[in-house]
Structure 1
């Protein structure tokens, strides 16, 4: 007999509910303010789902979260998924104008927020669709202020709510997460990530990394980034493992966690591992439990890879973007030392090509061109932005990354540069166009260019090359003070170079190569 076709449910909230039924007492989330077993996690998410529904959140609506890494972040995500809503994790480092644009574009009417960010939401709420404001009040790391008009401490409604009895089933094409990334123009673009994007990335990761049921995954990089959220953390909850959530990365604290909880897997950026390597006695620690370490977000210095490898820790480079959910390539552990500096080979269920950026034709090994990606982990497009979607995704489904790289004879990918001159500082993306746009409005500034310069601590640092008006003296402090009202701190210039004229070509475009040379040579 034939069975009617029934699409598989790939909603992570369904998997967590299943884990709550069959392994209720296993710790799902370890967090300083109190661990949550699968039964407790599922119950709290189900109660919050009811609170959200009662406030008008329905299938397809957006729920925003603003705060540092916490159990509350993951509870909110699962509650949104449970009722079919999209989760919008917001970068907590955004300055007010950026925060307003992201919240406005998302169309979210409900936000869950930590006390540390409440005032900033309050300042921009008029420019958004937000109507309901839930305040996390049960986390001792961020004590809440009670009695603030318009804000509901969330613990009361959660405790009083009846848990939502079932989870809305979701298939591959249903949207799950709306994650904003700065465009090269400096305006945020909302990347739609489907339940299928997350699911296929998990299949890719589990196919090539030594991750196991019951693993302890360390989550210290910001969860509002796709790398930290979707490399291991979300998958660990689906598989029934334990996520060790830390509000931020602390090198000394990480070593304590490694010893106490025998961490098995983690995602990090190069700056995290550079900081860890500077802790006295770090390599006297027992790293044997740590089987799967993915480093992405910025190229990893070969010397850092070799340092860790010499002590038995294989840092596995990966490459991808928010739009690829996140990994398109990964360097297997056994190739860590034979292919130092490579971002690896394509993931099993993902295609990667190097093409001529003008003709779109594939290039031969050794020839540098634009990296393009195709596969079920690739975003279907940008939120309410058909122009950006059409520019990034071609007719054959290839996503154009804007990154320049090449393949070697063995098919390993090497990243050379970024088509759009993006700077990566401490794992955070900084788009020069965005910083240039802000600084060009500063009184006394005639012209400005922003470039990245190598930096031992941050990977890259932001350098502003400025031409001032006659008689005007500009200092780095002046520039940072002005920009800080408009930009997140990590985007502020750390170095200022004052020049009579900023080099531009005949068509008025900034000559970035000449400008970088000026910065490097100090000329």
Structure 2
């Protein structure tokens, strides 16, 4: 048997996304790749702008392995910055624009970013923390009609429009292979300060392969990107693979339910990623379900627990929400529920993606458990990040010797191999010696009339150790009492799981990815009525 040449084995294939975009610019240059209210870009225009910005960055000293940060909402500038960094072999650092000042300083400092591309609305925040970072160059997006102009920028901010216009396109793209880092993305930080997840070019590519094999997506599709792109769910579910395969990304700065309801129909959108709250808001738009939604073939809901009632509400109107599960570390999907199983497996996060292994293991022994038994969900595969940025302790704690990533999520596999995610291990409530999983209680209360949003947390209790508290946002005119909550939940749950306290709030605290902000919720729940 002949020995394969290393360059024919696939190990040396260039997986740099910027190379794929350049290829699409060559063969499909006139296709609109970014549909954006501030100005559309074709593949040729996107590639050209990225190549020019790469020259600007290189002239300022950016090299292979450096980090380039982006601070702003969804826009074409986000993609231009990312592709320019990739062209040079630099790591792209998309920053959560909702971070508090200490978190923003920590992300920029720990990433070691030397350049930041920033929108006007976030420049002041960057200025307040710049002295605590390694930032040496500050580029300001000044050519987006969606961002109000604020006059001549202060200090050493450089408006990027003129720099890009005057630069010659960089004629090359650094080749990047599967294990080489591409994106440095920080976790949402609801259980502590954000950790930097190092996502490689291979992680992104293998997730795209998994999506390609599991979902009904096609070349030329339009995907709707309104969830924040600084999170991996929105970025790598459909947006990055659309750049690679050829198609259109409808980029929206934020999610507006009314506008989205119109545009999903008018643009004949084929795929969309969203958190449950986005789809719940869409369902409340008058007349949304009266339209033909048949073009929406791949609608993925993830990022937070999904109530089966929400899935049923859409299915009754002919639209199948496909639940998925994963984390930043899995880039993002580890499991996905195929459309044909949406109804009979409502509430399940699906089956493992084609090139991803998923197990449920005992929390203490880490040995696999039987079907139906709850334990920690662990994942292994080429879509899984290798570890955390400059954080050997966190990497060692999350990855075992066999390469399994320990997610910190609790779940179980049924007899058909479908995964059900119960809750976060750290969020589990121990009340009177019994384990209570907040997500299970939240699912039960989500079907209660008058409840718009619900969260369940545990707070210290002298009698029970912890007690279950329901935090609810109620519809206008609804008067919900603790007795109402307990009566409704009692038909779904054992009595020890029923809330013993109720807190009504006007808005539910959530982070940028749509996940419940549990530390804030615990503070709210612990406050006296």
Into which bin does the TM-score normalised by the smaller protein fall? 0.7 to 0.9
Aligned partner of 1:65 among 66, 70, 80: 70
Q: Distance in 1 between matches of 2:269 and 2:20?
A: 22
Q: Is residue 2:179 matched to residue 1:150?
A: no
Deviations along 1:300-354, one digit per CA (max 9) or x if unpaired, are 1111101100111000000000000000000000000000100000001000000
- The TM-score normalised by the length of structure 2 is 0.82
3-state SS, counterpart of residue 420 of structure 1: helix
1:519 matched residue in structure 2: none
- Residue deviations 1:71-110 (CA, integer Å, cap 9, x gap): 1101111111111000000001001111000000000010
Please name the residue that 1:130 is paired with.
Answer: 135
What is the match of residue 220 of structure 1? 226
Alignment partner for residue 80 of structure 1, among 85, 97, 100? Answer: 85
Aligned: 1:90 with 2:91? no
CA distance in 1, matches of 2:468, 2:238: 33
Distance 2:372 2:517 in 1: 38
For residue 13 of structure 2, the aligned residue among 5, 8, 16 is: 8
Partner of 1:382, secondary structure, is: coil
Counterpart position of 2:46: 41
Sort the Cα spacing of 1:188 and 1:130 in 2 relative to 1 into closer, same or farther, 3 A: same
Instruction: Write out aligned runs for 1:318-329 (5 A).
Output: 318-329=324-335
* Aligned match for 2:299, one of 293, 299, 306: 293
Q: Classify 1:21/1:2 alpha carbon distance in 2 versus 1 (closer, same or farther; 3 Å).
A: farther
Whether the aligned pair in 2 keeps the contact of 1:90 and 1:180 (CA below 8 Å) is yes
Instruction: State the 1:20 CA deviation.
Output: 0.3
Q: Aligned equivalents of 1:452 and 1:330: distance in 2?
A: 31
| Shift in CA distance, 455/344, structure 1 to aligned 2, threshold 3 Å | farther
Partner residue in 2 for 1:29: 34
For residues 333-348 of structure 1, the aligned pairs below 5 Å read: 333-348=339-354
**Among 292, 315, 319, which residue is 1:313 paired with?**
319
Checking the alignment, whether the CA contact within 8 Å between 2:457 and 2:470 is kept in structure 1 is: no
Structure 1 SS opposite 2:38: coil
Work out the CA distance in 1 between the residues paired with 2:364 and 2:244.
42
Equivalents in 2 of 1:416, 1:490: separation in Å?
15
The structural deviation recorded for 1:392 is: 0.2
Q: Report the Cα offset of residue 143 of structure 1.
A: 2.5
Question: Residues 266-300 of structure 1: CA distance to partner in whole angstroms, max 9, x if unpaired?
Answer: 10000000000011111111211100000001111
Other-structure match for 2:116: 111
User: Deviation at 1:3?
Assistant: 7.6
Q: Aligned equivalents of 2:194 and 2:525: distance in 1?
A: 26
Whether the aligned pair in 1 keeps the contact of 2:410 and 2:424 (CA below 8 Å) is yes
Query: CA separation of 1:245/1:184 partners in 2, compared to 1, >3 Å: closer, same or farther?
Result: closer
Residue 99 (structure 2) pairs with residue 100 (structure 1): no
Quickly say closer, same or farther: Cα 1:147–1:321, change in 2 above 3 A.
closer
Q: Work out whether residues 377 and 408 of structure 2, in 8 Å CA contact, stay in contact via their aligned partners in 1.
A: yes
Query: Which runs of structure 2 are paired with 1:45-444 in the superposition (5 Å)?
Result: 45-145=50-150, 146-182=152-188, 186-421=192-427
Displacement of 1:147: 3.6
Question: Kindly tell me: are residues 452 and 419 of structure 1, through their superposed partners in 2, closer, same or farther at Cα, counting changes over 3 Å?
Answer: farther
- Distance 1:450-1:113 versus aligned 2 partners, 3 A rule: farther
Alpha-carbon offset, residue 188 of structure 1:
1.5
Cα distance change on mapping 1:431 and 1:143 into 2, 3 Å: farther
Distance 1:3 1:17 in 2: 29
CA distance in 2 between partners of 1:452 and 1:235 (Å): 41
In structure 2, distance between residues paired with 1:431 and 1:454: 6
Equivalent position of 2:24 in the other structure: 19
User: Is the 1:114–1:144 contact (alpha carbons within 8 Å) kept by the matching residues of 2?
Assistant: no
Q: Which residue of 2 aligns with 1:510?
A: none
For residues 243-286 of structure 1, what are the alpha-carbon distances to aligned partners after superposition, in whole Å with 9 as ceiling and x for unaligned? 00000111111122122210000100000000000111111112
2:527 alignment counterpart: 498
Q: CA deviation at 1:35?
A: 0.4
Cα 1:213–1:451 change in 2 (3 A) is: farther
Could you say which residue in structure 1 is the equivalent of 2:447? none
SS of 2:6's equivalent in the other structure is coil
In structure 2, how many angstroms separate the alpha carbons of the residues matched to 1:413 and 1:10?
31
Q: Partner residue of 2:496?
A: none
Per-residue CA shift, 1:34-53, capped at 9, x if unaligned? 10000000000000011111
Against the structure 1 CA distance between its residues 393 and 8, is the aligned structure 2 distance closer, same or farther, given a 3 Å change threshold?
same
Does the C-alpha gap of structure 1 residues 135 and 457 become closer, same or farther in structure 2, counting only changes over 3 Å? farther
Structure 1 runs (4+) deviating above 6 angstroms are: 422-425, 430-433, 449-452, 488-491
Quickly say closer, same or farther: Cα 1:367–1:492, change in 2 above 3 A.
closer
Q: By how many angstroms is 1:186 displaced?
A: 1.1
CA distance in 2, matches of 1:292, 1:234: 15
SS at match of 1:383: coil
Q: How far 1:407 sits from its partner (Å)? A: 0.5
Whether the 8 Å CA contact 1:271–1:457 is kept in 2: the answer is no
Q: Is the 8 A contact 1:23 1:38 kept in 2?
A: yes
Contact 1:354 1:370 in 2 (8 A): yes
Q: Show structure 2 runs of 5+ residues with no match.
A: 429-437, 443-454, 461-465, 476-502, 509-515
Maintained 8 Å contact 1:421/1:431: no
- Whether the aligned pair in 2 keeps the contact of 1:476 and 1:496 (CA below 8 Å) is no
